[in-house]
Structure 1
Amino acid sequence: MRVTPVNPMGGGRRAEVMGQSSVAEVCRLLVVGPTSQVELSVPCHVPLADLMPALLRGLGPDLADRGLEHSGWVAQRLGEPPLDEDDSVAEHGLLDGDTVHLRPRSEQIPPLDFDDLIDGVSSGIKARSGLWRPRTTRLASLLALAGWLVVALAALPASGYHYRALIAAEAVVLLGAVTVATSRLVVDRSVAALTGAAMVGFVIEAAALGVADAGAGGDPASTARLMLMTGSAAAVVGAGLLLLLTAGHPSARPLALAGTAVACGGFVGCGLGTLAGLDRTQTAAVIALLCVGARPLVPVAAFTCAGLALPPLPVEPGELQDDIDPEPSAEVLARAAAADVNMTALHAACGVLSAAALVTMALDHHWIPTALVVLVGLAQALASRPMTSTWHRAALLLPAVAGLVVIVLPIGARAGDGSEPGWLAPAVSLAFALAAAGCARVLPRRRMTPMWGRAGDFAHITALVLAVPLVSWLLGLIGLIRSVVG
């Protein structure tokens, strides 16, 4: 802390509490004590309890010790109750130039009496909740921006104009320029995220409208499949462009990563349905297996996107003696946190795709898709064992649970027409409930031995191995092999 005089003629002093906060994160306050006053520059996001020693030293060297005589000091604004010492300056809404009084806890400033009724009513109204503040204006403006972008996206397909695709392409160029300007020049990430998302939507819309206008009068089913294929390809391009635009903003990169991964999965699914002629159940089976195969690559991709790179492994004996340059701790910790967020985004994207695939297969009541849902769900549940992040585990477990629920619920509906026994759905549900109760009782209290870990690995591999021939059967590869062999 550094204390410098501010006005020798007036007897005041100016104390600057210098920390690691930047100039933009400090607030200048006038702190009034029993016999003196100081002008302080204090960090906005430090609790008031941590600032009190510095405030007292700025007012006088003996004030901290004098606080033992009257149960300490409190900070309060004139006519208001004491400020909560657990909250920061920003949480109290203190602004530059505000005055704060330090008073003994037993001699707090009492509430002010109003000699002007209008002034009292005004003060009471200002203290009510729901006041319109500058951040409310920003939130309302962002909501208006999002709403009008949605209206623009919805209005263009319904217009019937001949050059709809061209207008959508022009909107892509305009929104792309706005996104670049707001992300790089103005550095307004909220506006950049909204305009970037709208840009991706207009890319998809331009491609779909172009295909629809070109295929007018043709086969509706073929046109619809082609529109989906083109729209998904445009989504990949738009998401990739959004990923490039957010390269300089680490906070926006996870959303762009997740959007790109989901768009790529949708493109693969539409491509399988359009080019290979697969139905939705077959496409869902392939997507589910691709998600299972892509999950081991998630940590590597997140590690790379965070800008981390491991040094090459030594090859020659002499390389073992080479010195490794130390990495700055702050940079390593920041990039490690970014890698964790990127990994969460990629796991969430895989979770969205696998949930859609498992639910689609569960809606097909044949035994092969049902068995695939059970096996893939079991594999995802077992793959979550080594993960320590709640979000990573949720991205694996929730799709599996969703697929199982969609399998179990229709069993009760089919029991009414006699195709399924009426006791099957409650029995399966109770079995899962008892298994969950056992996990809640045993797993938090007991450390599992390595034998159970090896058993889980074996069950995981077995589920994946059994799923491959079922997918082959579902795609018709088994029949093709039998016809070729003989």
Structure 2
Amino acid sequence: MAQSSAAEVCRLLVIGPTSRVDLSVPTHVPLTDLMPALLRSLGPDLADRGLEHSGWVVQRLGSPPLDEDLSVAEHELLDGDTVHVRPRSDQIPPLDFDDLIDGISTGISARSGLWRPRTTHAVSALALVVWLLVALAVPVLAGPHVPTPAAGARGAHGTTDAGGDAFGRPVTVGVVAMLLFVAMVVSGRGQRDRAVTALLGGAVVAFAVEAVVLQVADADAGAGAGARLPEMLLAGAGVAVLASLLVLVVASGRDTLLPVGLAVAAMALAAAVAGELSSAAGLDWTQVAAVMALLCVAARPAVPMASFKLAGLTLPPLPVEPEDLQDDIDPEPGAELLARTARADRFMTALHAASGVVSTVAVLRLALAPGWLPAAVALLVGFAQVLAARPMTSTWHRLALGLPAGAGLVAVVLSLPGRSGGLGGGAALPMVLALLLATVAAACAYVLPRRRLTPIWGRLGDWGHATALAVSVPLVVGMLGGIGFIRSVVG
């Protein structure tokens, strides 16, 4: 049974005058509307017998009758609770206690001001608001980071002074906004608490506005807040509108719009990470491209599971005891399951497309950069992405991985004459590579549609994929200056 359906029913043990029955009742329906179903479950003539004694009431043992105008949820009835259906003229009297401690405990439980589940929810939501406001205030109170000569100078190992702030205020706040956006998406898809989802959505807008305002303020910290106030207001208003639209798209739950918002958020997060690598870590854009290309390849295996979770699909826990085999055996509603499967596929397409855009930019930067290391990384990353597309059955998923790889290979081959120098000798190698790749493409067009490959080719593809990733990691480390660092340490 789906989580949303399970959260809207309550399983009660209902005890009547001559019988008892286990029932699953909706939590949002008033008791007065549930009474006919309860009476029919306890006996076929029970409703007519109620005319003899002014009807029936529902009560807990030793408690007054429940208000029939309130629902099960408003009475705070939980799964497994027991209620009694009694004649209105023969209600269960208040209990007498043969134990003093038991009576005191019951009296304390019935007092006013008792801490209830809704109190926990309200206090937790208030704490969420307070800590989000604290997180908003911290970057403002910290002030702009002005690097000192000691903190700004980098040593041989590429480290900064421990007292300096390695992350700028706008980037830090922007990353927090992205994380809150992801949390809002997860909370909204679960549909368990709309209040928390609304608070997270408001926090996304607030943090996005703060990030842009801090960026404008830090761009010219010496000019003072008054000189930058118009730009800060304009930028803050624009980002507030855009962030609010993005939050509304996600909150609307429209399947056609939500994947688009997810893809935009993923690309924005990748851009923030790339900007932070350039500004805080001091990497040039070729080094940033190498790191981002490797991150895209490394994050690809997490896309299916993330899409699975975002679509609201959950796997039942593995059975531990023999009796666990009887749990979660209810059939899944066909229409709902197919709709969620299609939703998961759209999420996968959006995430693969976002990764493809980032990977294309990174691979093209590497392919056109001088030196053999960036070109080698571009070739290996492209090779790994082509092999990673083998088990996929979606055209869009394969294109999202194959197009960046193809763009990188084409750019590397076209850049080889410039790397080699002369037109005669320099044109031979790229021409041979282009003809070799054309031969491979022709062979694939002829063989793959007509013949089913043996499993050994799948194993070779797995080994090639793992080898390309394993070789690309030390090459990226070399581009980042890791070899010089090792030499300085080893001597």
Work out whether residues 281 and 360 of structure 1, in 8 Å CA contact, stay in contact via their aligned partners in 2.
yes
Confirm whether residue 398 of structure 1 aligns to residue 403 of structure 2.
yes
Aligned to 1:372, which of 359, 377, 402?
377
For residues 355 and 375 of structure 1, the distance between their equivalents in structure 2, rounded to whole angstroms, comes to 14
For residues 372 and 241 of structure 2, the distance between their equivalents in structure 1, rounded to whole angstroms, comes to 38
For residues 412 and 458 of structure 2, the distance between their equivalents in structure 1, rounded to whole angstroms, comes to 28
Aligned to 1:263, which of 245, 249, 268?
268
Q: Give 1:202 shift.
A: 8.4
The match for 1:385 is 390
- Unpaired stretches in structure 2, ≥5 consecutive residues: 1-204, 225-234
Aligned to 1:421, which of 421, 426, 439?
426
Residues 470-485 of structure 1 aligned to structure 2 (within 5 Å): 470-485=475-490
Structure 1 letter corresponding to 2:250: T
Deviations 1:435-457 (A, max 9, x none): 10010001111101101100100
Q: Give 1:250 shift.
A: 2.1
Structure 1 letter corresponding to 2:430: A
For residues 308 and 387 of structure 1, the distance between their equivalents in structure 2, rounded to whole angstroms, comes to 20
Q: Give 1:415 shift.
A: 5.9
The match for 1:340 is 345
In structure 2, do the counterparts of structure 1 residues 285 and 416 end up closer, same or farther at CA, with 3 Å as the change threshold? closer
Aligned to 1:249, which of 250, 254, 266?
254
**Aligned-residue identity in percent:** 55
Deviations 1:310-368 (A, max 9, x none): 11111223212335222211111111111101100000000001111101111112111
Work out whether residues 384 and 393 of structure 1, in 8 Å CA contact, stay in contact via their aligned partners in 2.
yes
Residues 48-447 of structure 1 aligned to structure 2 (within 5 Å): 206=213, 208-214=215-221, 242-243=246-247, 245-247=249-251, 248-413=253-418, 417=422, 421-447=426-452
For residues 452 and 364 of structure 1, the distance between their equivalents in structure 2, rounded to whole angstroms, comes to 34
- Unpaired stretches in structure 1, ≥5 consecutive residues: 1-197, 218-230
In structure 2, do the counterparts of structure 1 residues 482 and 414 end up closer, same or farther at CA, with 3 Å as the change threshold? closer
Structure 2 letter corresponding to 1:246: V
TM-score by length of 1: 0.52
Question: What secondary structure, in the 3-state scheme, does the structure 1 residue paired with 2:324 have?
Answer: helix
Q: Give 1:370 shift.
A: 0.7
In structure 2, do the counterparts of structure 1 residues 455 and 328 end up closer, same or farther at CA, with 3 Å as the change threshold? same
Structure 2 letter corresponding to 1:301: A
In structure 2, do the counterparts of structure 1 residues 371 and 297 end up closer, same or farther at CA, with 3 Å as the change threshold? same
Deviations 1:93-132 (A, max 9, x none): xxxxxxxxxxxxxxxxxxxxxxxxxxxxxxxxxxxxxxxx
For residues 441 and 240 of structure 1, the distance between their equivalents in structure 2, rounded to whole angstroms, comes to 51
For residues 479 and 262 of structure 1, the distance between their equivalents in structure 2, rounded to whole angstroms, comes to 32
Question: What secondary structure, in the 3-state scheme, does the structure 1 residue paired with 2:453 have?
Answer: coil
Confirm whether residue 460 of structure 1 aligns to residue 474 of structure 2.
no
In structure 2, do the counterparts of structure 1 residues 476 and 413 end up closer, same or farther at CA, with 3 Å as the change threshold? closer
Deviations 1:417-439 (A, max 9, x none): 46952222222211111110010
Structure 2 letter corresponding to 1:209: V
Work out whether residues 249 and 261 of structure 2, in 8 Å CA contact, stay in contact via their aligned partners in 1.
no
For residues 236 and 346 of structure 1, the distance between their equivalents in structure 2, rounded to whole angstroms, comes to 25
For residues 312 and 241 of structure 2, the distance between their equivalents in structure 1, rounded to whole angstroms, comes to 23
The match for 1:63 is none
In structure 2, do the counterparts of structure 1 residues 254 and 362 end up closer, same or farther at CA, with 3 Å as the change threshold? same
Q: Give 1:303 shift.
A: 1.0
Work out whether residues 376 and 464 of structure 1, in 8 Å CA contact, stay in contact via their aligned partners in 2.
yes
The match for 2:88 is none
In structure 2, do the counterparts of structure 1 residues 238 and 462 end up closer, same or farther at CA, with 3 Å as the change threshold? farther
Structure 2 letter corresponding to 1:273: S
TM-score by length of 2: 0.52
Confirm whether residue 449 of structure 1 aligns to residue 454 of structure 2.
yes
Higher relative contact order (CA 8 A, sep 6+): 2
The match for 1:187 is none
Question: What secondary structure, in the 3-state scheme, does the structure 2 residue paired with 1:453 have?
Answer: helix
Work out whether residues 417 and 427 of structure 2, in 8 Å CA contact, stay in contact via their aligned partners in 1.
yes
The match for 1:59 is none
Deviations 1:367-391 (A, max 9, x none): 1111101111000000000000000
For residues 448 and 236 of structure 1, the distance between their equivalents in structure 2, rounded to whole angstroms, comes to 54
For residues 243 and 295 of structure 1, the distance between their equivalents in structure 2, rounded to whole angstroms, comes to 25
In structure 2, do the counterparts of structure 1 residues 310 and 329 end up closer, same or farther at CA, with 3 Å as the change threshold? same
Deviations 1:38-74 (A, max 9, x none): xxxxxxxxxxxxxxxxxxxxxxxxxxxxxxxxxxxxx
